Amino acid sequence: MKSDFSEEAAPARLLEEIHSPADVKALREQDLPQLAQEVRDELIKVLSQTGGHLGPNLGVVELTIALHRVFNTPRDRFVMDVSHQGYVHKMLTGRLERFPTMRQYGGLNGFLLRTESEHDCYGAGHAGTALSAGLGMAVGRDLKGDNEHIVVVAGDAAFTNGISYEALNNVKANTKRFIVVLNDNEWSIAKNVGAIASYLNSIATSPTFTHLHEKARQFVQAIAGKTAVEFAHKVEESVKGLIVPSVIFEELGLRYYGPIDGHDIPLLIRTFEFLKTQEEPVLLHILTKKGKGYEPAIKQPDKFHGLGKYKLETGETAPTPTPTYSEIIGKTLAKFAQTNQKIVAITAAMPSGTGLAHFAKAHPTRYFDVGIAEEHAALFACGLATQGLKPFLTIYSTFMQRAYDMTIHDIAIQKLNVALCMDRAGLSGDDGPTHHGLFDIGYLRHIPNWLHMQPKNEDEFVDMLWTMANYNSGPIAIRYPRGSGPGAQIKSEPKLLEIGKAEVVQHGRDVAIFGLGNMFEVAEDAARKLEEKGISVALINPRWIKPLDTGTLEFFARGVEVVCTIDPDEFTEHGTIPILRKKHGITADVLVEKVLPLLKRKSPAHSTAA
Ligand SMILES: Cc1ncc(C[n+]2csc(CCOP(=O)(O)OP(=O)(O)O)c2C)c(N)n1
């Protein structure tokens, strides 16, 4: 008879016992669904406090458990595309205790990091890198005569990315042992787009698949309790049956298996056990649900792809009090496009992140989501420009790094009327070094024919967009930060700005501070602090990165003792923007601290020297 206590006692969480992948292997297989549930609960609870990539991770819980059940990291290697779906992997590889520090300054990074754990064999944050990097690992392994497994996990949207095909083009010729998992949830951040998405969907919805899936289930039931030899034979026989011929992947030289249910742990385990015995590159197509297990995330996959804090019970998030720069650009371009028929807008898989969803609603035929394909997006914009259209290419500063060659070879040399709008310029916050938009000033400034600017506030932003819309003499770019600026208005009557002309906000004799974009606020603050010490400060809003207003620069350089600009020159970790600014000295106090000794040395007015 059971004691009263055994009925009452809540079962201990299995998750608490998981300190390494060996602990996942030590569990009974029938307990793995419970582990999956606990992982989900933990994800939903912790991320409600920290924010993060909830939807993608809820979709890969079973997959990650099955991978750790079958393979042995760190010896075997999991290469995850973007690696935003690596949270479950982190939990199962000894980082559960630190999980509540996710994306916090000094805590776990939201992506895989080689420096964070020996189980993270490859860091990422940008999409499309996993297949190439994984192939390099496989070839390196072969050259060394080793035999560990390389498993690439890539989402369906990673297959909208050109690099993925560059890698696939090289797999067959270079290795015989390579496992690719295509995690197909039909979503990028927004709904996945293009011919490949339709192709994958046609496989997933084919009646043959439904039939095969039933076959697969029966097979998993049938092998329970078999001896090792019988088991291996059965697995081979049955998993080979899990093939709907997929012309694309087979022609590229990867044996295609699937599609199978990516939430069926026993099936995943059996399939991986089989795939690891194969002496040819294989691709396993699994079907998963983004946001699985959390109703708000299933209802709004786009929002829950990655978000800040939310209410655990409802999934509600705090409303942003003022419009963000992204919202302003989406709405403003939509408005300009009502009277300017030449305006078209392009996003590379970021319709809501870039605010273009507003434009898409107003002008669906002049809006293009090209998938995670920044290089293509830039070239596509070039083609549109040659037809006399005015393409607004709206891409995060960090992702535009991908299309650097196009900014020179295609846009600048041909002096095409492409308007490049770079969102998340500067520090982007809790995503960390892969996502900060710190390099676009560097990578555009030296290229002839480009104009480049940054607004100090929302009103100036609208003026700049208007200036871009009316500029027809070649490429023109704008950068603007994540979130909202200091003002709350969206200007209704924009004005044209004079090209290459800085705004002198106040004159001064001792120090001139040039505060570009959102650094203008820091500059203003520093100016007040210096003025309190009796120092006369000129305050300049440069507006233009290129052409630089050299006249204004020279004027002040000749007139004052110290000229300041505000900029970091190092890779910056993740954390909130105020914390990062403080750490890296991007504050008014640090500016004042650095300026004062210079003045003492140079200025008779402030010097103590005779
Ligand atoms: C080069 C680049 N462009 C855009 C992004 C933004 N981004 C992050 S995840 C993602 C969608 C990924 O979808 P998928 O690969 O299918 O994985 P899922 O989140 O659906 O699991 C996008 C567009 C990025 N990380 N890198």
- C-alpha–C-alpha distance, residues 382 and 406, integer Å: 9
54 pocket-lining for ligand 1 (C-beta < 6 Å): no
State in Å: Cα 431 to ligand 1 middle.
13
Question: What per-residue confidence (pLDDT) applies to 6?
Answer: 45
Question: What per-residue confidence (pLDDT) applies to 503?
Answer: 98
- Residue nearest (by alpha carbon) to ligand 1 atom 11: 188
112 pocket-lining for ligand 1 (C-beta < 6 Å): no
Match 């992948």 to its residue by tokens: 21
Of the pLDDT bands very low, low, confident and very high (cuts 50, 70, 90), residue 322 is: confident
- C-alpha–C-alpha distance, residues 80 and 155, integer Å: 9
Asked if 475 and 420 count as a contact pair (C-beta separation under 8 A), the reply is: yes
Ranges 171-185, 230-244, 526-540: which has the least confidence? 230-244
C-alpha distances in angstroms, 482 versus 146, 331, 505, 541? 45, 16, 24, 19
566 pocket-lining for ligand 1 (C-beta < 6 Å): no
- C-alpha–C-alpha distance, residues 403 and 407, integer Å: 7
Evaluate if residue 9 carries a pLDDT over 70.
no
Question: What per-residue confidence (pLDDT) applies to 246?
Answer: 72
SS3 351: coil
Higher pLDDT, 217 or 27: 27
Evaluate if residue 207 carries a pLDDT over 80.
no
Question: What per-residue confidence (pLDDT) applies to 209?
Answer: 67
Q: Which atom of ligand 1 is nearest to the CA of 435?
A: 25
Question: What per-residue confidence (pLDDT) applies to 598?
Answer: 93
- Give the residue-averaged pLDDT of 547-563: 97
State in Å: Cα 158 to ligand 1 middle.
7
Q: Which atom of ligand 1 is nearest to the CA of 127?
A: 26
Question: What per-residue confidence (pLDDT) applies to 238?
Answer: 63
State in Å: Cα 127 to ligand 1 middle.
6
Question: What per-residue confidence (pLDDT) applies to 247?
Answer: 76
Angle between helices 61-70 and 265-275 (to 10 degrees): 40
Evaluate if residue 493 carries a pLDDT over 60.
yes
155 pocket-lining for ligand 1 (C-beta < 6 Å): yes
Q: What is the pLDDT of residues 136-169, one digit of tens each?
A: 999 999 999 999 999 999 999 999 999 999 999 9
Highest-confidence segment of 202-216, 310-324, 331-345: 331-345
Helix runs in 145-227, H state only:
162-174, 195-204, 207-223
- C-alpha–C-alpha distance, residues 97 and 299, integer Å: 30
87 pocket-lining for ligand 1 (C-beta < 6 Å): no
537 pocket-lining for ligand 1 (C-beta < 6 Å): no
Q: Which atom of ligand 1 is nearest to the CA of 185?
A: 20
Phi and psi angles of residue 256, each rounded to the nearest 5 degrees, phi first = -95, 130
- Give the residue-averaged pLDDT of 49-78: 98
Question: What per-residue confidence (pLDDT) applies to 3?
Answer: 42
Ranges 72-81, 187-196, 246-255: which has the least confidence? 246-255
- C-alpha–C-alpha distance, residues 364 and 358, integer Å: 10
Token pair of 446 as six digits: 């030296």
Phi and psi angles of residue 496, each rounded to the nearest 5 degrees, phi first = -75, 140
- Give the residue-averaged pLDDT of 71-85: 98
Closest CA to 81 of 43, 42, 127: 127
Of the pLDDT bands very low, low, confident and very high (cuts 50, 70, 90), residue 239 is: low
124 pocket-lining for ligand 1 (C-beta < 6 Å): no
Asked if 373 and 164 count as a contact pair (C-beta separation under 8 A), the reply is: no
pTM for the complete prediction? Answer: 0.93
Highest-confidence segment of 44-48, 255-259, 597-601: 44-48
Can the peptide bond before residue 433 be classed as cis, meaning omega within 30 degrees of 0? no
Evaluate if residue 570 carries a pLDDT over 90.
no
- Residue nearest (by alpha carbon) to ligand 1 atom 23: 349
Q: Which atom of ligand 1 is nearest to the CA of 60?
A: 21
State in Å: Cα 348 to ligand 1 middle.
10
Q: Which atom of ligand 1 is nearest to the CA of 187?
A: 20
Out of 189, 307, 398, mutate this one to test ligand 1's pocket (max ligand atoms within 8 Å of CB): namely 189
Question: What per-residue confidence (pLDDT) applies to 550?
Answer: 97
Give the percent of the chain with pLDDT over 70: 90
Evaluate if residue 223 carries a pLDDT over 80.
no
Q: Is the dihedral of CA 267, 273, 36, 291 positive or negative?
A: negative
- DSSP single-letter state for residue 174: H
The residue type at 222: A
- C-alpha–C-alpha distance, residues 117 and 98, integer Å: 12
- C-alpha–C-alpha distance, residues 103 and 88, integer Å: 14
399 pocket-lining for ligand 1 (C-beta < 6 Å): yes
Question: What per-residue confidence (pLDDT) applies to 561?
Answer: 95
Token pair of 99 as six digits: 């999980």
E-strand spans in 118-265? 150-155, 179-184, 255-261
- Residue nearest (by alpha carbon) to ligand 1 atom 26: 126
Evaluate if residue 300 carries a pLDDT over 50.
yes
State in Å: Cα 259 to ligand 1 middle.
21
- Give the residue-averaged pLDDT of 467-480: 98
160 pocket-lining for ligand 1 (C-beta < 6 Å): no
Of the pLDDT bands very low, low, confident and very high (cuts 50, 70, 90), residue 313 is: very high
CA angle 457-460-462, nearest 5°?
A: 110
Question: What per-residue confidence (pLDDT) applies to 1?
Answer: 38
Of the pLDDT bands very low, low, confident and very high (cuts 50, 70, 90), residue 607 is: very low
Evaluate if residue 2 carries a pLDDT over 80.
no
188 pocket-lining for ligand 1 (C-beta < 6 Å): yes
Asked if 58 and 291 count as a contact pair (C-beta separation under 8 A), the reply is: yes
Asked if 505 and 540 count as a contact pair (C-beta separation under 8 A), the reply is: yes
- Give the residue-averaged pLDDT of 308-327: 93
Higher pLDDT, 380 or 566: 380
Q: Is the dihedral of CA 48, 52, 54, 60 positive or negative?
A: negative
State in Å: Cα 551 to ligand 1 middle.
43
126 pocket-lining for ligand 1 (C-beta < 6 Å): yes
Element (DSSP H or E) covering residue 80: strand 77-80
Ranges 13-27, 203-217, 264-278: which has the least confidence? 203-217
- Residue nearest (by alpha carbon) to ligand 1 atom 25: 126
SS3 382: helix
Q: How are strands ordered across the β-sheet holding 282-287?
A: 77-80, 150-155, 179-184, 282-287, 255-261
Token pair of 453 as six digits: 């600017």
- C-alpha–C-alpha distance, residues 242 and 275, integer Å: 12
164 pocket-lining for ligand 1 (C-beta < 6 Å): no
Q: What is the pLDDT of residues 403-454, one digit of tens each?
A: 999 999 999 999 999 999 999 999 999 999 999 999 999 999 999 999 999 9
C-alpha distances in angstroms, 435 versus 91, 359, 398, 575? 23, 24, 6, 12
Of the pLDDT bands very low, low, confident and very high (cuts 50, 70, 90), residue 12 is: confident
152 pocket-lining for ligand 1 (C-beta < 6 Å): no
Mean pLDDT of the chain: 92
The neighbouring-strand residues paired with 396 are 423
Active site residues: 290, 374, 402
Of the pLDDT bands very low, low, confident and very high (cuts 50, 70, 90), residue 212 is: low
- Residue nearest (by alpha carbon) to ligand 1 atom 4: 372
Give the percent of the chain with pLDDT over 90: 85
Q: What is the pLDDT of residues 362-379, one digit of tens each?
A: 999 999 999 999 999 999
Question: What per-residue confidence (pLDDT) applies to 32?
Answer: 98
State in Å: Cα 72 to ligand 1 middle.
26
- C-alpha–C-alpha distance, residues 477 and 542, integer Å: 15
Out of 372, 395, 400, 434, mutate this one to test ligand 1's pocket (max ligand atoms within 8 Å of CB): namely 372
Token pair of 296 as six digits: 């708000």
CA terminus-to-terminus distance, the chain: 97
Question: What per-residue confidence (pLDDT) applies to 248?
Answer: 87
Asked if 360 and 370 count as a contact pair (C-beta separation under 8 A), the reply is: no
CB neighbourhood size of 567 (10 A): 12
Q: What is the pLDDT of residues 242-255, one digit of tens each?
A: 566 677 899 999 99
Asked if 38 and 96 count as a contact pair (C-beta separation under 8 A), the reply is: no
